[in-house]
Amino acid sequence: MSVSKTALLFAGQGAQFVGMGKDLSASFPSAATWFEKANLALGYDLRTVCFDGPETELTRTEHAQPGIFLVSWVAFQLLKEGAPGVQFHAAAGLSLGEFTALAASGTFDFETGLKIVRQRGLFMQQACEQTLGAMAAIIGLDESETVAVCRETGIDLANLNCPGQLVISGTKEGVARACELAKLRGAKRALPLAVAGAYHSRLMEGARAKLETLLADTDVRSPSVPVFSNVTASPHTTPTDIRARLTRQVTAPVRWEDSIRALIAEGFTRFIELGPGTALSGFTKRIDKNVQALNIGDVPSLQATLETLARS
């Protein structure tokens, strides 16, 4: 029987869809209980927003962030229930998902994490409404060329997801100019993203400052396993360090590819994505096709992953 070093990956914003978590809640009483706890903790009906939308409400940052956190947390709990013998040795999450990874590792409890991401979502929604921001995916242009394009157009590099896929962020005019320039420099595609504003850019400074104040008053503990920071692509250490990196993350680029490569370099061969969608599994396989990438986001994927784990 082979033993794989397992890392958990937690979904980020953009993975949300109307109906997420609904079949898990209907099939597992423990899952339904977490949705009830979330509604009580937040004081509004997040469960119905996740299950029934409408999509315009779910995609609002203030609902999408706690909604994805909640569905990802439920997936994590069902993994533990269904495969109690499987241990995880590290965790990471894309942007918002980093908070879920930290909660799963004991840095703060479920209710605290849920409330933080709800507030973070509100802060970012407010920043979006106060600035005219946009984002775009740049396909097939390397990092140094993309950084040069950002510098020339006054915008920022937001995500380094996987080989050949970077995301830029900034003013609408700056992003539009950068897309044209990137194509002239050899990008295969430059695709505007359907987002509310310029995440992971200087336009989120207002949200960064508010989150810094919120985290200063939050009880934060060292994680039970290494949790890789989006900002540094290295594990968090002290509670002070965690607060600082989570604050910086709002305006800094997400170094996802570097995080996965660092985990692989430390011997991780199995990655389990928790939450709606399969974006992180896709990125991981693009980074290294030889690793095992599993996911849990609904009943079929839960069953498939538990069956795979039972055979390993």
Catalytic residues: 95, 200
Give residues with Cβ within 8 angstroms of 99, minimum separation 6: 69, 93, 113, 116, 117, 120, 246
Give residues with Cβ within 8 angstroms of 120, minimum separation 6: 65, 96, 99, 207, 211, 214, 250
Write the single-letter amino acid at 31.
A
CA–CA gap between residue 234 and residue 130 (Å, rounded): 33
* Helix, strand or coil, per DSSP, at residue 9: strand
- Put residue 96 in one of left, alpha, beta given phi > 0 → left and psi -120 to 50 → alpha: alpha
Contact 133, 61 (CB under 8 A): no
Of 66, 113, 83, 79, nearest to 8 (Cα)?
Answer: 79
Q: Report the run of H or E that residue 79 belongs to, with start and end.
A: helix 61-82
Of 276, 152, 182, nearest to 167 (Cα)?
Answer: 182
Residue 109 burial class via C-beta count within 10 angstroms: exposed 0-12, middle 13-18, buried 19 and up = exposed
- Put residue 192 in one of left, alpha, beta given phi > 0 → left and psi -120 to 50 → alpha: beta
CA atoms within 13 A on the CB side of 30: 10
Give residues with Cβ within 8 angstroms of 135, minimum separation 6: 158, 167, 168, 169, 175, 192, 193, 195, 198, 199
Contact 118, 42 (CB under 8 A): yes
